[in-house]
Chain A
């Protein structure tokens, strides 16, 4: 199947700093990628849909100025958590789908800890 690579897998940052998470589709082009957040022992909650060459679409309750998404190429989407706070600590997962293929492919996830 298609491969989605997410980096870094773990990051610890100080409150107030920004963190960038990268999501790459390695063997296919992804015009659309999705960003999810998962708190411990909970499910994946969709944060935003990342569209190549245009603005991301954010789910209700997700602050677009705090979670900056850039999808500048067909193989790379980035999520930047700005001015991170301890409550932003979570597991962030990206996903991409191949057009015409109904299976979704997921990155390995990024464990963000804000101290």
Chain B
């Protein structure tokens, strides 16, 4: 089952611009994670934000979480062509033996 929606479904920007992707979910969570997937490949973990956190940074990534609205956003600053990929949010209700539930994803294209 899928947890929720992500928007936009596809985003095309110029290199150097910022990219913002949003994710909404439906149930209570322990944490929310963002993953990146290059075409036809496995997933790479980007960042995790816990339910009691509101904002987190990692390099050019900034994630926010609003549990009252059940939504999260991922901001990639100063985008590069190499950032072109699909980005998925995934919600986690447990703490180790429960599956992640993925959103529909945003396909990001960064044009050089």
Contacts and interface: CB of A to CB of B under 8 A. Distances in A.
Given A43-B104, A108-B42, A102 B88 contact: no
Interface in B18-47: 30-31, 33, 35, 40-43, 45
Interface residues of B, number: 26
B33 A103 contact: yes
Contact of A103 (B48, B101, B103, B107): B48
A99 B96 contact: yes
Interface of B: 1-2, 30-31, 33, 35, 40-43, 45, 48, 88, 90, 92, 95-97, 99-105, 107
Interface of A: 1, 6, 31-32, 34, 36, 41-46, 49, 59-60, 91, 93, 95, 97-109, 111
